[in-house]
Structure 1
Amino acid sequence: MQKTRNARPRPVTLALLCGLLIAAAPVWSSTAPDVETACLDCHRPQQDRGAVPVIEGQHADYLRAQLQRFQQRHREGFPMNALSAGLEAASLSAMADALAARPWRAASSAPQPRADIGREQLDAFDCASCHGSDFRGGGSIPRIAGQQAAYLQRQIAAFGESERHHPPVGGGARMYGITPDAAEAIAAALAELD
């Protein structure tokens, strides 16, 4: 019978393990990263990497609140939960302020199909009562005019399916149960605004 040696990790193994742990740490450090490289690679108005929102020029209070929601996992979204995990409050706030200070650049100014139906839905839900008559929001209410249509459609559909909370809209109506067709039309109407 062969004796087993007492298996101790070798220094090289420990060094490799430490390196892997460091590499697996959150991508953003506790200091605010440069928003140009950390955020805008995915969040440019004309990007084609899925339905992600335009965030340049969005309200700082809204951006700060959403980053905190991702960080605390009150809002799920890949890769935002992991990317925001290591940010300290001051860094998170600095990022929101830096993004808000940039000019808003609408995702599209092209006419959107079904936008006329969407404008009727915007009136029916009285979206202007919170987002403003120009749908530019303010403070913790997001600007939705000129936002990515695919992003808006996905978020509105999530409200309709109770996957994401939306406060009662004007008159106390809720967005629960909104149809995918209505979500698409509302998103189209908002995306074509400046």
Structure 2
Amino acid sequence: MRPTNSRTPHVLALCLATLMGCSGTSEEALQQTSTLSGIAMADSVCSLCHGLTGESVSPMFPKLAGQQNEYLQLQLTDFKNHGRSAATDSRYMGGLSHLTKTQIAELADYFASQRAMQADTGTSDARGEVIFRQGLPERGVPPCSACHGTDGGGNGVIPRVAGQHASYMSQQIMVLQQTGQRPNGAPMLPVDHALSQADAESVARYMAALRTKQ
């Protein structure tokens, strides 16, 4: 289902406030978001950063197209409860504390149902392929494919990584080395701590070039 293109002045003001970290948004304005459907939010709010179908253009913002439904719900719940404390998370998603459970479910359903995020057309990374397929046994790093799937499609609360922005993924690997900023990312701590910045960038480039089924 394709959302409408209507954007009320209130919603546009709220979008701008959200992008600025909601520093000047009134409590009343934030509470009014609870009246919007998930599809209306995807159209009028989320699309400004993530694209109408979740295929974001800017690597600053992750692609959501075809992302795992359970993973999306988990992350939206974390944003609602301020469970993700990295600086960029707080800056761009700090205004979501008034999301309802229904909105979270509807947003997850909407983005998960879109065509899977499209692979980067750049050259694949040989070092990254080794890390993704074989891991780094000498450092105790298992292959990424063991959890994210051989095609990078993810499963349940394990996110789709195939086709995601490379720079976003490498930055998240570094964030996940600090589990205080991403408590639900604790299972990644042993893996990420053993990856250097160069390794993180290599495997991120490889995953960005992966193509996966919906």
| The two structures share one fold, judged by TM-score above 0.5 | yes
Q: Distance in 1 between matches of 2:32 and 2:191?
A: 37
Q: Which residue of 2 aligns with 1:74?
A: 83
Answer whether contact 2:119 2:210 (CA < 8 A) is retained. Answer: no
Q: Distance in 1 between matches of 2:32 and 2:171?
A: 26
Q: Distance in 1 between matches of 2:144 and 2:156?
A: 16
Q: Distance in 2 between matches of 1:90 and 1:142?
A: 21
Q: Distance in 2 between matches of 1:85 and 1:138?
A: 26
Identity %: 27
Gaps of at least 5 residues in structure 1 are: 1-19
Q: What is the CA-CA distance between 1:25 and the residue it aligns to?
A: 2.7
Q: Which residue of 2 aligns with 1:85?
A: 97
Number of equivalenced pairs: 169
Gaps of at least 5 residues in structure 2 are: 1-24, 136-141
Q: Distance in 2 between matches of 1:98 and 1:108?
A: 23
Within-5 A mapping of 1:14-163:
21=26, 25=30, 28-33=33-38, 34=40, 35-44=42-51, 45=55, 47-48=57-58, 50-76=59-85, 77=89, 78-82=91-95, 84-106=96-118, 108-112=120-124, 115-122=125-132, 123-124=134-135, 125-162=142-179, 163=181
Distance 1:107-1:38 versus aligned 2 partners, 3 A rule: farther
Q: What is the CA-CA distance between 1:147 and the residue it aligns to?
A: 0.4
TM-score by length of 2: 0.69
- Whichever of the two has the greater Rg, that structure is 1
How well do the aligned residues superpose, as a CA RMSD in angstroms? 2.4
Q: Which residue of 2 aligns with 1:16?
A: none
Describe the superposition over 1:25-82 as per-residue Cα deviations: whole angstroms up to 9, x where unpaired: 357334334212321221133523x521100211111101100011111113022131
Structure richer in helix, relative to its length: 2
Q: Distance in 2 between matches of 1:32 and 1:53?
A: 22
1:185 aligns with 2:192: no
TM-score by length of 1: 0.76
Q: Distance in 2 between matches of 1:121 and 1:161?
A: 21
Q: Which residue of 2 aligns with 1:8?
A: none
Answer whether contact 2:49 2:61 (CA < 8 A) is retained. Answer: yes
Q: Distance in 1 between matches of 2:33 and 2:116?
A: 24
Q: Distance in 2 between matches of 1:135 and 1:167?
A: 20
Answer whether contact 1:160 1:177 (CA < 8 A) is retained. Answer: no
Range that drifts further, 73-82 or 90-99:
73-82
